[in-house]
Amino acid sequence: MSGVGLKLSDVRFAYDDWQVRFDMDVAPGWFVAVIGPSGAGKSTLLNLVAGFEQPSSGSILIDGEDTCTLEPAKRPVTMLFQEHNLFAHLDIHTNVALGISPALKLTAADRDRIAVAFDRVGLSGLEQRRPGELSGGQRQRAAIARALVRDKPLLLLDEPFAALGPALKNDMLDLVAEIHREGHMTVLMVTHEPQDARRAASHTVFLDEGGVVALDQTKTLFARKDLPGLKAYLGA
Amino acid sequence: MNRANIFAFAGGGLSLAVVWVVVTGAFAALVLTAAGGEGPSATLSDPYLWRVVRFTLWQAALSTILSVGLAVPVARAFARRRAFAGRRVLLALFALPLALPALVVVLGVVEVWGRTGWFNGLAEIAGFQPVLNVYGLTGILLAHVFFNLPLATRLLLTHLDRVPAENWRLASQLDMPAGAVWRFIEWPVLKTALPGAASLIFMLCVTSFTVVLTLGGGPRATTIEVAIYQALRFDFDPVRAVTLALLQLALCGVLVMGAGRIVGDMQAQPSLGKKAVRPDLDGWAGDAVVIGLAGLFVLLPLVAIVTSAVRSDLARLAGETALWQAIYTSTWVALSAAALCLTLTAGLLSAVRASHRKRAGKPFFEWNTDAAGSLILVMPPIVLGAGWFVLLRGVGDIFTLAPLVVVVVNALMALPFVLRVLGPAVAQANLDHGRLCASLGLAGWNRLRLVDWPVLQRPLALSLAFAMALSIGDLGVIALFGSEDFTTLPFLLYQRFGTYRIDDAAGLALILTVYCLGLIALADRVRSERRKVTG
């Protein structure tokens, strides 16, 4: 498996007098950075794909299937939020295990997978800690471990590393990029920093004025001179 | 729609149905009786009725003016003196009167201001005739001010505390004298807080039952609520009770709507507690006198309750089966009422939460839950009780059904408060965890067990204790429905008080107080899992 394709066709969403309309086609295996000014609908895009918001019309195809009527948990999607990715009152092993079974019924094989995931994100030995006893970076690593055990082909990142310092953030980006390179996931990542996109994303989509302005290879997109909105956004 | 949502909506629907049936049942019973009998028109022209209405408003207005008016200098003095020893204890003490059962407060007031009380005792020693008669308007006002002066003080103080430190620095820079500080800083802040505080207190005094029942009650000092009680319990005049209840309902409705408009921003925010040097703090004597007098006014009745309870023969009281019977009855009534109240709340809130997730039906449940809460605030318990009294009169023996009615009415009484404690907690928990739970497929029992229960333990414990304390301290419906076979602690206390067995009453008051405050203190020890840390 090499991740799944994601296709949004004429997806409309309105909240009060604010509205957006998305048309976008992401091929399997892409790592797409989502950039754009605040209010452009970056988080809304992810919330629509994850199923936390319902579009008023249009279709969202994941791997060719329309997912609009599915509950969030039934979609082949994992989403990492900016915060509250973990239950603060449960240790991180339990937090990760919830990604396999909401009733916490684990087989021996499940436990092995969890151990592998913890090892993968560099948290081995800290499984019994609670989120409050970890640093911000470690907490997001635990959340990534859960994404790993969930093993959904579409990973959505809603600025989960925005609160981390530059060095830590780069570590996290590299970890996600590494996981992405293993080829199981298509990734959509909201970010405010162009260098994040350059560092990790194969493609970048620029949102502005209620819709998708351009989706291109990251290098190509940032080099484009024909998008006034992008120029204004980057301030260059 | 998945199964968890169906359960949530079903629970919400059921809770709403219970609330509406109980409230509209009482209301319908009142209206039908009023229409069926010789009609309320005869009663409406009864001068007694209008005397009662006039007195209700008059005592409430006086109580409000006294409470709020006196609270202004007290709050100002507290705001000016931020560091004296005992300030925190004193302010904590000021939170106490509202938490005490009204009957206990009445007892304290009588001990201090009554005919043989401390105040008149002092007056006699000084060579005066006993000057104060606590039964009548004077006593009602004293008790109401005892309740509401501390409340108003705390409300106003939170506003004064919110004055930004920069304002005080500016005042220092400009070398403002106390007069200017009052005019430009303190008064503008108080002015915005006064209408809210005053309307809240006015409302509390209009619906005050126990105080008026025990200290007033004669033809010259009766409020609508007490008149309803008398009409049902003594005069067997349901038509008059109904007319009064409808009047009370209209009055409360108007007041709540009016107050809702003003009280909008009354929610006290925590102050930053930043210290700033004020330029106007010369002459501490005035503040000391104000704080001292207010402190004594609040403290003395509390002390009186304790000392007279100690003097009373607690040992003999403990030997009475009546006491244990009453404690037993109070306990199971309170437990049932609190359980019912929490069940209703859980139904309502889970439906609100589920509708947030689904978007569908969101206005319906949210609107209705808010409406249910406000409706009960408008519908005084005694009116609810009166409605069901009239309704059940035709069905069978009222007194065999009494426990059920008392439990249900007590549960509904607590509902608005419990909603106010649990509602925001649930909303916050959902904000923190809602999306995560949805994406992990955590729902129903698993969500309850793994997420909701650990996070909501504390607000749940507080709600339970609060609902129980409210029920245990209540002398409203039980005054209407109580009997030899169905006696709660406050009802027993009221009987002893009514027959002037003040020693017994004092002992019972202490037991009641310890029980209520103990519940709340116990619940306060329950700690929820930390929710502050974000993952």
Q: How does pLDDT run across B242-284, given as a tens digit for each residue?
A: 888 888 888 888 887 776 665 544 433 334 444 556 767 777 7
| Residue among B404, B421, B420, B373 at smallest CA distance from B477 | B404
Chain B residues inside the 8 Å CB shell of A81: 435-436
CB atoms within 10 A of CB A170: 16
What's the pLDDT score for residue B270? 38
> pLDDT for B475-523, tens place per residue?
888 888 888 889 999 999 988 888 888 788 888 988 998 898 888 888 8
Q: Is residue B51 within a helix (H) or strand (E), and if so which, with residue range?
A: helix B47-80
- The answer to whether the CB of B316 falls within 8 A of the CB of B322 is no
DSSP 3-state of A26: strand
**Cβ of B446 and A103 within 8 Å?**
yes
CA gap B244, B55 in Å, rounded: 13
Q: Mean per-residue pLDDT for B304-323?
A: 84
Nearest to A52 among B435, B531, B532 (CB): B435
Residue in this structure with the two tokens 């684990």, named with its chain if needed: A106
Amino acid at B50: W
DSSP letter, residue B483: B
Amino acid at B236: F
Distance from CA of A88 to the nearest CA of B (A): 6
Please name the residue of chain B whose CA is at the shortest distance from the CA of residue A137: B535
pTM of the predicted structure, to 2 decimals: 0.77
Q: What is the ipTM of this complex?
A: 0.78
Distance from CA of A200 to the nearest CA of B (A): 23
CA gap B141, B494 in Å, rounded: 20
**Cβ of B534 and A99 within 8 Å?**
no
CB neighbours of A10 closer than 8 A, spacing ≥ 6? A21, A23, A57, A58, A59
Chain A residues inside the 8 Å CB shell of B535: 83-88, 95, 131, 139, 142-143
CA gap A54, A168 in Å, rounded: 34
Give the CA radius of gyration of chain B.
25
Distance from CA of B347 to the nearest CA of A (A): 22
Nearest to A81 among B435, B454, B530 (CB): B435
Q: Is residue B223 within a helix (H) or strand (E), and if so which, with residue range?
A: none
Pick among A93, A94, A98 to test the B interface (most B CBs inside 10 A): A98
- The answer to whether the CB of A24 falls within 8 A of the CB of A41 is no
> pLDDT for A214-224, tens place per residue?
999 999 999 98
| Residue among A37, A35, A39, A32 at smallest CA distance from A6 | A32
> pLDDT for B446-479, tens place per residue?
888 888 888 888 889 888 998 999 899 888 888 8
CA gap B138, B221 in Å, rounded: 10
Please name the residue of chain A whose CA is at the shortest distance from the CA of residue B453: A89
Q: Is the pLDDT of residue B39 over 70?
A: no
Phi-psi region of A10 (alpha: psi -120 to 50; beta: other; left: phi over 0): left
**Cβ of A102 and B530 within 8 Å?**
no
CB atoms within 10 A of CB B518: 12
* Beta pairing class for A203-208 and A211-217: antiparallel
Residue in this structure with the two tokens 């006086």, named with its chain if needed: B62
B 354-383 near A (Cβ less than 8 A): 359
> pLDDT for B183-205, tens place per residue?
888 888 888 888 888 888 998 89
Q: Mean per-residue pLDDT for B65-71?
A: 96
